[in-house]
Amino acid sequence: MSQGTDAVHAGYRPSGDFRPMLPPLHNSAAYQFQSHAEAIEKFALRQAGFTYSRTGNPTVSILEQRVAALEGGAHAVATATGQSAVALSLLALTQGPKHIVASSSLYGGTVDLLTDTFADFGIRISFVDQADPAAWAGAIEDDTRAFFLESVSNPLCTVADLPAITAIAHEHNIPVVVDNTLATPLNVRPLDHGADIVVHSATKGLAGHGSVLGGIVVDSGEFDFSDTARWPQIAAPRVRLNNTSLLERHGPAAYAMLVRSKFLHDLGPTLAPASAQGILAGIETLPVRAAHVQRSVTTLIHELSAHPGIAAIHHPSLPAHPSHELAKKLTPKGTGCVVAIELAHPSLVSPVIDGLKLISLAANVGDTRTMISHPATMTHCRLSASQLADAGLNTSTLRLSVGLEDPADLLADLTQALDLALDQALAPQTQGA
């Protein structure tokens, strides 16, 4: 089916006595077994099915199947947040502890996870310039077990060269994990371009209404984990599985089963069924929302770029953006809701933000409501001036997350705030009098 149809139907067909049209909310912690024999088989993971909702729930399962379909993946595991999806996807590859090569332009929460918590666990990270394939190759160590990057970075919307980076990884038998939160599968499907695993903060574009938190790990089922020395957690026998391996038992679903039956089970960041239902409802309108947002982004960029209060707009649709050519190939429909606006002077930042009447100052993306933030003092406030510069940002950069309002109203709000800020900047003496 096409993505528009999968967004509405994948993973669910009305069934049972009442055939509810809406994927039902199964709020149950546990599931009855019809016999002791059935319980034995299910607990031993020899028979599929639900035992206890920490590791699987029928409502959550519909979400997992829907996102797997949208991403073109084989298996998915939902988690409580995007943060836990990132953590579990990588812990399953790097326990030991091992080494990760990661893009230097990542979501702040991921940077904290990698540089602080993972560092405490002994997992080592090398950060590289995402746009430089040679840097990825050069950072590989003997025990590198994952590449990690974002398909579209935040807030500059740098598009990752997935074919080039995944080719380097696969030469070295390293799986590539891609955070596809900002782009959403509507704009790019990383698995189609060589990636092995996709993660999402479903809190953002998938849920789309700023009302629930959630995350998901999607596996292509195609990476070769059969080397027992390299991937003992998947290919070697485990005491916990009566001395069988996940690979023997689950074949191409082995990685997803590791995420679910070890990390989700043992650490417990489980998605609540009600949240899964909320995310499912959000996904139904994702294609329509993505198209509307794309049109609004185009309108705003076109109408605002000549404003004297703006030094530059950073967006792949513009020829000056470093990802302009790559974006034509990988993200032809757009890169999502984020636009980075660099004001003409840092002194304009506060007046513009405080002058907005419709657009809210808030640190979220992918909401129905348009939001603005100032990375240098908000999401990226822990970065030094040089780290900020490495990320392509400066103190004049604002991040806009375009929502579903009428673009004419958004344009009017931004224009009046920019005009007001410029008036104030040009007349500082009358301002102080």
Which residue's CB is nearer to ligand PLP, number 215 or number 287?
Answer: 215
Residue showing the smallest CB distance to ligand PLP in the complex = 82
In angstroms, what is the minimal distance from the CB of 272 to ligand PLP? 13
In angstroms, what is the minimal distance from the CB of 202 to ligand PLP? 7
Residue 217: both structure tokens together: 């790990």
In angstroms, what is the minimal distance from the CB of 112 to ligand PLP? 10
In angstroms, what is the minimal distance from the CB of 408 to ligand PLP? 28
In angstroms, what is the minimal distance from the CB of 269 to ligand PLP? 10
Which residue's CB is nearer to ligand PLP, number 85 or number 241?
Answer: 85
In angstroms, what is the minimal distance from the CB of 363 to ligand PLP? 9
In angstroms, what is the minimal distance from the CB of 247 to ligand PLP? 29
Query: Which of 353, 334, 343 has its CA nearest to residue 296?
Result: 334
Which residue's CB is nearer to ligand PLP, number 187 or number 203?
Answer: 203
In angstroms, what is the minimal distance from the CB of 181 to ligand PLP? 4
Helix (H) or strand (E) holding 178: strand 176-179
In angstroms, what is the minimal distance from the CB of 270 to ligand PLP? 14
Q: How far apart are CA 199 and CA 217, in angstroms?
A: 5
DSSP string, 315-373: -TTSTTSTTHHHHHHH-TT---SEEEEEES-GGGHHHHHHH-SSSEE-S--S-SS-EEE
In angstroms, what is the minimal distance from the CB of 7 to ligand PLP? 20
The rounded Cα 260 to chain-centroid distance in angstroms is: 19
Which residue's CB is nearer to ligand PLP, number 200 or number 250?
Answer: 200
Q: How far apart are CA 196 and CA 314, in angstroms?
A: 29
Which residue's CB is nearer to ligand PLP, number 67 or number 422?
Answer: 67
In angstroms, what is the minimal distance from the CB of 406 to ligand PLP? 25
Which residue's CB is nearer to ligand PLP, number 261 or number 401?
Answer: 401
Contact 284, 7 (CB under 8 A): yes
Which residue's CB is nearer to ligand PLP, number 154 or number 245?
Answer: 154
Radius of gyration (C-alpha) of the chain in whole angstroms: 23
DSSP string, 82-123: HHHHHHHHHHHHHTTT-EEEEESS--HHHHHIIIIIHHHHT-
Q: ∠ CA(270), CA(271), CA(275), 5° rounding?
A: 160
Please count the other Cβ atoms lying within 10 Å of the Cβ belonging to residue 383: 17
Which residue's CB is nearer to ligand PLP, number 336 or number 355?
Answer: 336
DSSP strand pairing (144-150 vs 371-373): unpaired
Beta strands in 207-315 (DSSP E): 215-219, 310-314
DSSP strand pairing (338-343 vs 124-128): unpaired
Contacts of residue 1, defined as CB under 8 A and 6 or more positions apart, other chains included, come to: 9, 10, 69
Q: How far apart are CA 433 and CA 403, in angstroms?
A: 39
Which residue's CB is nearer to ligand PLP, number 125 or number 348?
Answer: 125
Contacts of residue 104, defined as CB under 8 A and 6 or more positions apart, other chains included, come to: 127, 128, 129, 130, 390, 391
Which residue's CB is nearer to ligand PLP, number 73 or number 215?
Answer: 215
Which residue's CB is nearer to ligand PLP, number 83 or number 296?
Answer: 83
In angstroms, what is the minimal distance from the CB of 84 to ligand PLP? 7
The binding site for ligand PLP (CB under 6 A) comprises: 81-83, 86, 107, 109-110, 150, 154, 179, 181-182, 201, 203-204, 213, 215, 365
Query: Which of 363, 358, 366 has its CA nearest to residue 405?
Result: 358
Which residue's CB is nearer to ligand PLP, number 150 or number 219?
Answer: 150
From residue 230, how far is each of 125, 174, 424 by CA, in Å?
18, 10, 62
Q: How far apart are CA 87 and CA 152, in angstroms?
A: 19
